[in-house]
């Protein structure tokens, strides 16, 4: 009996994501004797898949951006095939009678569906069991809206592994995402309170490693794992057990991973970071949200700004490649400049490492912010969400317009970019930090904002790319003029102009000596040979070659600071 599970979106390219939750559900349905198939893609392709596969029921995963899409598709499915339609997913908690009536869907299934979905389908399609006894179910029976408390699965180890083979996307490899547990002990004011979220349940590490090994076997190209847990770093002992398993796996496979952590908790044992990095940790996500401690406290995050700065400094010093974080725009009123100031501090403490983005505050259903915005000095615009990019209201501080919030975000993004570009221009990035950014991008497909900003500076990008390929070395104070061969990081004819009658490079006018030096830095002659040639041409004004040599060293240092040269040793 075929069941189609799907995630559809017009806003995001759903074909590139794993949607591991759908495949956990597929595994549970398969174990219960059903034949699940999974689709994730554009809405306009879904009806064709239903026509081809002929499912007996359709299940939609509802997220923050596809409620209206599901409404439309559900009506079309009902009209053409009249099969049962079940809607669940992260935002199932926000749906009720109005949604069922507008969409024609039969049921809303809230909470974790691995147990409740097979029971519901057994009752609806096989007449086995009572629909009214299915936990987490909401529906209309005899004109009355009925709902039951959600199913919370206590022992996650009893669940089958994700059934990726049920995907309709046969050219797609999976296994990038993994959950090692569910739930979160924190109650951040902006975070969607999904059923069971407050109850932390953890899978055994041996089972987690078994899933990873299965994914590696099925996906030979898998290079990076994303641990999706809210609370992966709750236990030092559990982290250590995971790291031990990952070190064993990495003996046979080049595999890295990244996860989230709560700084307020891990600060008590942050000395575990070197062990995590040694086990393949390449990126760590931390929540900050604001540079104003009062706002952080209103969000109920249980973290201090001083602890964040200390943690970021320590993590960068340990050699972690990327620390990702987000700042919320449109939240409670902040002290002027507080967030911009913290951004500058973090970039100063972890240049080339801290990866900062900004995002608008979302009024997720069931959150304190959505239900009591006045407590935070906030107001909601367009309560229906029909005029916003998501399905929920746009949020602003009281007295602040949506345009002002957008301008504030633009200003923060400009400050992030200005601070990063300043570090790049002034050569304040550690070479090892940049090498790790290039390695993350080219080996594992993880492109940080630092990589993007370095790429936006053509000279810096070419310079670091040469170093990454080990085709050149950075200049040092002690150069061996007999063995060091300088080479430009660019093709001279592409970069240099003579439009003003003299040579210019990157807007800088070059003297005849600078031009001739650059001309000879092609990796074909030693610095000593080049010096002797240039001294013969330009040495007359100098007291002796020693003075000329000192001048040449300064010139090479200037070229190096502008990302124009590297060298190699013969």
Task: With beta carbons less than 8 A apart as the criterion, state whether 255 and 246 touch.
Answer: yes
Q: Which candidate, 186, 289, 302, 203, places its Cα nearest to that of 245? A: 203
260, 265, 269, 275: CA torsion to nearest 10 = -10
The whole-angstrom separation of Cα 21 and Cα 27 is 10
What is the reported pLDDT for 18?
Answer: 84
The CATH code that applies to domain 174-406 is 3.20.20.70
SS3 labels along 440-507 = HHHHHCCCCHHHHHHHCCHHHHHHHHHHHCCCCECCCCCCCCCCEEEEECCCHHHHEECCCCCCEECC
Residue 208, SS3 per DSSP:
helix
- Please report, rounded to a whole number, the percentage of residues in the chain having pLDDT higher than 90: 80
Tokens describing residue 263: 């700084």
**Neighbouring C-beta atoms of residue 198, cutoff 10 Å:** 13
Average pLDDT of the residues in 117-144: 93
Q: Output the CA–CA distances (angstroms, integers) from residue 366 to 88, 90, 120, in the order listed.
A: 16, 12, 25
466 has a pLDDT exceeding 80: yes
Banded model confidence at residue 424, pLDDT cuts 50, 70, 90: very high
Query: Token digits for 523?
Result: 């990796």
Phi (first) and psi of residue 292, to 5 degrees: -105, 115
pTM confidence score: 0.91
- Cβ–Cβ under 8 Å, residues 118 and 34: yes
Interatomic CA distance for residues 388 and 39, integer angstroms:
26
| Residue 90: band (very low, low, confident or very high) from pLDDT cuts 50, 70, 90 | confident
Which residues have a Cβ under 8 Å from the Cβ of 473 and sit 6 or more positions away? 467, 566, 567, 568, 569
Helix orientation angle between 402-425 and 338-349, rounded to the nearest 10 degrees: 20
Averaged pLDDT of the chain: 93
CB-CB contact of 409 with 343 (8 Å): no
2-147: CATH topology: Rossmann fold (3.40.50)
The DSSP symbol for 161 reads P
Element (H, E) at 230: none
Q: For position 550, what pLDDT does the model report?
A: 94
CB environment 542-561: b (16+ within 10 A), e (fewer): eeeeeebeeebbebbeebbe
Q: What residue segments make up the domains of the chain, in order of their start?
A: 2-147, 174-406, 484-569
Mean pLDDT of 448-465: 95
Burial class (CB in 10 A: 0-12, 13-18, 19+), 166: buried
Q: How far apart are CA 501 and CA 504, in angstroms?
A: 9
Give pLDDT tens digits for 110-120: 989 999 999 99
For the segment 20-43, what is each residue's pLDDT rounded down to a tens digit? 999 999 999 999 999 999 999 889
User: What angle is formed at CA 434 by the lines to CA 260 and CA 417, rounded to 5 degrees?
Assistant: 75
Q: CA nearest 347: which of 291, 301, 280, 272? A: 291
pLDDT digit string (tens) for 384-394? 666 666 777 88
């Amino acid at each position: 009996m075929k069941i189609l599970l799907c995630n559809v979106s017009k806003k995001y390219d759903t074909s590139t994501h794993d949607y591991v939750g759908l495949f956990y559900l597929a595994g549970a349905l398969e174990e219960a004797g059903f034949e699940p198939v999974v689709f994730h893609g554009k809405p306009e392709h879904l009806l064709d898949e239903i026509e081809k596969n002929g499912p007996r029921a359709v299940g939609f995963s509802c997220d923050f951006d596809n409620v209206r899409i599901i409404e439309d598709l559900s009506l079309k499915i009902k009209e053409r095939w009249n099969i049962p339609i079940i809607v669940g997913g992260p935002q199932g908690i926000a749906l009720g009678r109005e949604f069922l009536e507008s969409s024609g869907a039969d049921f809303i299934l809230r909470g974790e569906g691995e147990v409740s979905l097979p029971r519901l389908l057994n009752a609806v399609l096989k007449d086995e069991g009572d629909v009214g006894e299915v936990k987490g179910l909401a529906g209309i029976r005899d004109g009355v809206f009925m709902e039951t408390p959600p199913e919370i699965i206590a022992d996650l180890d009893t669940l089958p592994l994700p059934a990726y083979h049920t995907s309709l996307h046969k050219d797609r490899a999976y296994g990038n995402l993994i959950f090692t547990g569910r739930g979160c002990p924190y109650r951040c004011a902006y975070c969607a309170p999904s059923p069971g979220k407050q109850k932390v349940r953890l899978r055994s590490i041996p089972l987690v490693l078994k899933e990873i090994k299965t994914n590696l076997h099925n996906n030979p190209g898998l290079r990076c794992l994303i641990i999706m847990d809210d609370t992966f770093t709750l236990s030092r002992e559990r982290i250590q057990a995971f790291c031990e398993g990952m070190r064993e796996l990495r003996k046979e496979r080049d595999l890295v991973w990244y996860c989230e952590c709560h700084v307020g908790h891990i600060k008590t044992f942050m000395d575990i970071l070197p062990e995590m990095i040694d086990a393949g940790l390449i990126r760590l996500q931390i929540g900050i949200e604001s540079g104003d401690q009062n706002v952080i406290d209103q969000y109920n995050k249980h973290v201090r700004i001083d602890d964040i700065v200390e943690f970021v400094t320590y993590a960068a010093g340990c050699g972690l490649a990327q620390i990702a974080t987000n700042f919320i725009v449109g939240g409670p009123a902040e002290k002027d400049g507080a967030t911009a100031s913290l951004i500058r501090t973090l970039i100063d403490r972890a240049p080339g490492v801290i990866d900062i983005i900004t995002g608008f505050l979302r009024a997720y259903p069931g959150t304190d912010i959505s239900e009591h915005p006045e407590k935070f000095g906030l107001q909601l615009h367009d309560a229906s969400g029909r005029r916003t990019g998501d399905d929920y209201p746009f949020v602003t501080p009281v007295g602040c317009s949506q345009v002002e919030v957008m301008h504030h975000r633009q200003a923060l993004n400009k400050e992030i970019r200005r601070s990063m570009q300043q570090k790049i221009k002034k050569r304040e990035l550690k070479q090892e930090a940049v090498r790790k950014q290039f390695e993350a991008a080219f080996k594992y497909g993880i492109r940080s904002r630092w990589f993007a900003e370095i790429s936006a500076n053509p000279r810096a990008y070419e310079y670091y790319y040469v170093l990454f390929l080990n085709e050149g070395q950075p200049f040092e104070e002690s150069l061996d003029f007999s063995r060091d061969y300088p080479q430009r990081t660019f093709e001279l004819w592409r970069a240099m102009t003579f439009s003003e009658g003299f040579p210019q490079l990157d807007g800088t006018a070059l003297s005849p000596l600078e031009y001739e030096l650059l001309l000879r830095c092609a990796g074909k002659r030693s610095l000593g040979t080049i010096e002797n040639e240039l001294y013969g041409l330009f040495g007359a004004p100098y007291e002796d070659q020693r003075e000329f040599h000192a001048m040449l060293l300064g010139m090479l240092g200037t070229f190096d600071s502008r990302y124009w040269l590297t060298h190699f040793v013969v």
